[in-house]
Chain A
Amino acid sequence: MRARLLSLLAAGTVLAPFVAPLPAQGFPKTPPAPMPLAPAQFPPFQEAVLPNGVRLVVVENRKQPVLSVSLSFAAGSVTEPGTKVGLASMVAGLLNKGAGARNAEQFADAIEGVGGGFAASAGDDFLQLYVNTLSRNAALAFELLADAAIRPAFPEQEVELLRTQTLSGLQLERSQPAAIAGRTFRQALYGAHPYGRSATEATVKAITRADLVAFHKARLRPQGALLVVAGDLSLAQARALATKAFAGWTGAPAALAALPPVPARTQAELILVHRPGSVQSNVLIGNTTWGPADPRRYAATVANEALGGGSEGRFFRILREEKGWTYGSYSELETRRGAGAFSASGEFRTAVTDSAVTVMLQQIRALRDAVLPAQEFADRKGSLTGRFPLQVETAEQVANRVATARLLGLPADYVQTYRQKLAAVTAAEARTAAAAAFRPEQGVIVVVGDGQTLWPKLKGLARSARLVDVEGKPMDPADLTPKASTLALPWDRLVARTDSFEVRLQGNPFGYQVTRLERDGAGWRHTDVTVLGPIVNQKTVVTFGSDGAMQSVKQEGTAQGQPMAIDVAYANGRATGSAKTPGAQGPTEVKVNAEVPAGALDDNLLQAVLPMLPLAPGAKIPVTVFQSGKGTAATWTVRVDGEESVTVPAGTFATYKVAIDGAEQPVSLYVSTAAPRRVVKVAFNGVPIEIVLVK
């Protein structure tokens, strides 16, 4: 009946192409049912093996004259030594920084000049190179890919540039709670297995040019490498271009060392990473799962979609839409060549963190305890199967899916049958798979947040719980409460002074800082004006008595386009007032009304007081601070990391390099060793900004 009606309408449109057919019926008041789904055809692709052992996959698609080519090796971070974590990523980052006859600049010009791009990166299991361009540049694309994979030069200067950038990135991560949570989570889940490792300053510094050359020579070999070509090129053309570009390239990668087993947990562990004064908490809950070919993955994917997949999942609907505790909360099943993982994540206000963790655990259990209601199950599964065509719309998307399946060693028909297998999952199977995949009782709960508030509320949520600092070192819960300061500072030796600094971005002038210490009645007034290009513009005034007792702090200005203000008075052992500080989701305002430990310094005064501390090689000095922008007290540690000679416009100084553990923005301060001591340079870790003393 339906078919006949349609064919009549079709005939009508042929006869009168510019007059639309009359409406067959009125506008329906309810949405139409899905139209029949054509059999889901995975787009065709072809495979071959080149004489040197490179596996070739071609997804020919002549729709547009574009081409994408990728080349993958089993050379991910699992293959690097534990003392050189970061080696695979550095190799990937250097492949196009001088290769074949071109230096880094010429390589970039070659691909950008014809319209296109090149990229390379290393993950846990694989190292991959990609080129995209118009198909008329196919020969150049293969030439550049072959140069980068076979003939990288690893110039010393590029190695050091990338090392500096990598170290800056690591330092920046220490200020990013999501990165701290991820590192802690991986380490707890995978233990000594390479999936549990993260690069550190020490492992990155240990990497030599010889290591890079040796890794490249051992691991980037043709035997078993995967070359995937997508777009306007046939298998025969791809084979011919690859054969020419890869001429003379032979050999197999070195055998992979056996990997240690993934630790088996019998009970849940909670790890609270203390981030003093954090107004939000990052939560990661999860456990290890199974290898990539496990048949339960389809049913588990549907269960995961219902739990935390996108804006229709339970986490999002309950934690954001109903409770308003977060901007978003999600869950995912991570697939690796070895054991994968289940992870549930969210970022919550400190005050509701324990409630949010409780709700997340409840919802995880609910997926195992009861079969999903029929409508919810149908909607979530429908979303997953419906989305699939949008994920294979372009030749490049198709190629990526085939490449992933081949690299992970999935069954030969995996990509073709994926959607049907998802569609065949029943609600009962989803429940059984949820029980196997979501096991926080044998997993880990990582929370990065303010330990002082959270430890008492969270420690009971798992059979075992431990507290660590942002470096991962164990902490005694007793250390969470800031104690009265035991520092005796020589306040009577203070003298009025003004210091002028220049702010530099990558060595160019970018702003200034002026600090002034002056008498204010019987006490002191310290004024700090800081301008960092368009990023920060602030003025801070702190007053304190001749005995060092804090009296008031006033700050005003803008940071990253957001207004900031602090107006806090210190009296009778308390701080009262208000503060507005910038944040990722707009300014945060807090009412300040808190007890202040005896001898605490306002955190805005620390730079000024630093030269008065008993600095010496290897010194670690606990300093009790009141963070007036957050309204909480904390104990920070001033640590002398070494001695360096520093040249700034004001002259050349022998200095102590000082770090402050506990402060939000990691910085290195350089304090002259000779009296009168002064701060002569401040470097912001992870960003190319320096403040240098002018006079």
Chain B
Amino acid sequence: MPHVRTGRALLAAAALLLPLAGQAQAPRTAIDSYALPNGLRVHLVEDHSSQVVAVDLWYDVGSRNEVPGRTGFAHLFEHMMFQGSANAPKGEHMTRIGNAGGSLNGSTRADVTNYYEWLPSNRLNLALWLEADRMRALAITPENLKNQQEAVKEERRLRFDNQPYTGALVDRLPTLWDAQGCFAYAHSLIGSMDDLNAAKVEDVKAFFDLYYAPNNATLVVVGDFRPAEAKALIAQYFGDIPRGQTPPPVRCEQGLGTAARREVVPDRNATLPAVLMAFRIPAVNHADYPALELLGTIVGGGESSRFNKALVRDAKVALAAQALVNPFGPTRGPGAWAALAIANQGVAIDSAEARLTAELARVRADGVSEAEVTKAKHAYRFGKVSERQQALPFAEAVHFAALFLGDVRAVDTDLDRYDAVTAADIRRVAERYLRPENSLTLVITPEKK
């Protein structure tokens, strides 16, 4: 059930494009924002259009908070959150939510770890109680830890070590960033097996005390509730959980690259060579970000994209070609914009790489057409507007605005940033960021058996 959100779906670029919410013409969403004395931030969005409520709790911790020797802890910890707590023994969290007719899950990303319950509105109290119980008294035992260390290793074997390209991407793409200046983003989200094996109960307990404290969490509730009742429940269940220490700030000093880098990565699962050209881009709240994301859709999103047309259909040098924007989730630090091509059998990877390079050069030199920009904006808007119809996706959008854009009201205004993008902007960001000296090229080659 718990899972890592990473670049697992290499052939579904569109699904990897960042979630950003907002809608220009919509009325302002009424958001009731406050904090408990222990520091828990709360955003309530009342919506009685259906008898549904989403309880979505984000902890401000992800792989970016890990330090050398302790990689993979954020994800290991997410697994521990499903192993039972003081008043809800192992398995009971899921059974109770299931009996109420609801659903739940959790996921780990570079910047954040989330947990949610999505259920009928009269069970809001149950979801809040279960989340509060594990925030105050998680069952951190040697037995649960051992069990989940194995589960994480099994997840790595199944999802990464056994799949072509994914392992190479997860382990090597972080080297786009400089480990000296920015270890936060320059290491793998799933972590090193040695670090995971070395984890002791005391380490996990310390991690919990530091990051799973109310002052490091944000609770969003969207849906059908009475505000006074919801606030009373939140106060009763979360109010006396002690505040923790303030986690140390994440350090990341990183400019654009100054010299093209290139690495050959052997991959024992791959049978066809692939090339990934990655570029450093700024954080999601940067003014250039919307243009970079729409650029990804135009050149490498879907059947009618430029990469697919040029490399797959016309030249037939690639089995698949696409763009990936932030494959490990949105970041407050630097991001990644990448072009990926998997060569056809019998085609040298150089020719696929040459075509990709040519397509990127063409965008830098000639830009894109107004029609391409309009189509990309429409697809983006339809996706974002559709998300707002349901409580959980909207709760995620509220969190996104608060954490990544620094203002919860951006949930209504962020689509404006995308609507304002022009073909000239796209050409400008392509010229600024997709430069050879700002790139890391990974040539993934089948390993001889």
Residue positions of A touching B, CB distance < 8 A: 5-7, 9-10, 13, 17-32, 34-38, 40-41, 43, 61, 63-66, 109, 112-116, 132-134, 310-312, 379-380, 382-390, 392-396, 503, 505, 508-512, 531-537, 556-558, 561-562, 586
In the complex formed, the residue of A with least CB distance to B312 is A508
B226 pairs with A113, CB closer than 8 A = no
Q: In the complex, how many angstroms separate the beta carbon of B378 from the nearest chain A beta carbon?
A: 4
> Cβ of B441 < 8 Å from any Cβ of A?
no
Task: Provide the bound-state CA to CA distance between A588 and B170, in Å.
Answer: 27
Q: A238: shortest Cβ distance to chain B, in Å?
A: 18
Q: Is the CB of A392 within 8 A of B344?
A: no
CB A316 to nearest CB in B, in angstroms, measures 11
| Stretch of B234-242, B255-263, B432-440 at the chain-chain interface | B234-242
Asked if B52 is at the interface (CB within 8 A of a chain A CB), the reply is yes
**A557-B95 Cα distance, complex, nearest whole Å:** 42
Q: Across the interface, which residues of B come within 8 angstroms of A537, CB to CB?
A: 271, 446, 449
Interface residues of B, Cβ cutoff 8 Å to A: 23, 25-26, 32, 34-37, 42, 49-52, 87-88, 94-96, 98-103, 118-126, 129-130, 132-133, 136, 158, 162-164, 224, 226-229, 231-237, 239-240, 269-272, 304, 316, 319, 342, 344-347, 374-375, 378-383, 385-386, 388-391, 446, 449
Q: Chain A's interface: helix, strand, loop or mixed, by majority? A: mixed
Which residue from B49, B50, B101, B163 sits with its C-beta under 8 Å from A385?
B101
Q: Would you call A393 and B391 a contact (CB within 8 A)?
A: yes
Which of B23, B42, B96, B234 is close to A31, meaning CB atoms less than 8 Å apart? Answer: B96
Chain A residue numbers with a CB within 8 Å of B158 are 586
**CB < 8 Å: which of A61, A311, A533, A534 contacts B98?**
A311
Contacts of A510 in B (CB 8 A): 319, 344-345
**A509, B344: Cβ atoms closer than 8 Å:** yes
Q: How far is the CA of A505 from the CA of B342 in the complex (A)?
A: 14
- 8 A-B pairs with the lowest CB-CB distances in the bound complex, closest first: A386-B101, A115-B382, A10-B228, A387-B101, A115-B378, A389-B51, A23-B239, A32-B125
Docked CA distance A172–B40 (Å): 54
Please tell me if the beta carbons of B382 and A116 are within 8 angstroms of each other in the complex: yes
Q: Are B231 and A13 in contact (CB under 8 A)?
A: yes
Q: Given A21-B232, A113-B378, A534-B342, are A27 and B50 neighbors across the interface (CB < 8 Å)?
A: no
| Residues of chain B with a CB closer than 8 A to A25's CB | 236
Q: Contact partner of A312 among B95, B129, B374, CB < 8 A?
A: B95
Q: Which residues of A contact B391 (CB under 8 A)?
A: 393
Nearest Cβ on chain A to B224's Cβ, whole angstroms: 8
In terms of DSSP, what is the predominant structure of the interface of chain B?
mixed
B120:A509 contact, CB within 8 angstroms: no
Q: How far is the CA of A396 from the CA of B390 in the complex (A)?
A: 11
Q: How far is the CA of A247 from the CA of B449 in the complex (A)?
A: 67
Are B272 and A534 in contact, with the CB atoms below 8 A? yes
Inter-subunit contact A29/B87 (CB<8 Å): yes
- List B contacts of A310 (CB < 8 A): 98
Q: Are A9 and B232 in contact (CB under 8 A)?
A: yes
Choice from A6, A64, A558 contacting B388 with Cβ under 8 Å:
A64
Among B102, B228, B381, contact of A390 (Cβ-Cβ < 8 Å): B102
By the criterion CB–CB under 8 Å, are A27 and B123 in contact? no
Question: Whole-angstrom distance from the CB of A19 to the nearest CB of chain B?
Answer: 8
Q: Which A residues touch B25, using CB under 8 A?
A: 65
Task: Quote the shortest CB–CB distance from A536 to chain B (angstroms).
Answer: 8
With A22-B239, A34-B122 given, is the CB distance from A558 to B269 under 8 Å? yes
Residues of chain A lying within 8 A (CB to CB) of residue B136: 27
Which residues of B have CB within 8 Å of A32?
125-126, 129, 233
Instruction: Report Cα–Cα, A393/B342, bound state, in Å.
Output: 41
B-side contacts of A43, CB under 8 Å: 49-50
| A507 smallest CB distance to B (angstroms) | 9
Give Cα A9 to B231, complex, Å. Answer: 8
Report chain A residues within 8 Å CB of B346: 509, 512
Q: Contact: B99 with A312, CB < 8 Å?
A: yes
Contact across chains for A556 and B449 when beta carbons are under 8 A apart: yes
Residues of B close to A388: CB separation below 8 A: 101, 120
Residues of chain A within 8 A of B121, CB atoms compared? 38, 389
Q: Are B120 and A531 in contact (CB under 8 A)?
A: no
Q: How far is the CB of A476 from chain B (nearest CB, A)?
A: 42
Please, which residues of chain A bring their CB within 8 A of the CB of B385?
64-66, 134
**Most central of A385, A389, A396, A557 by chain B CB within 10 Å:** A389
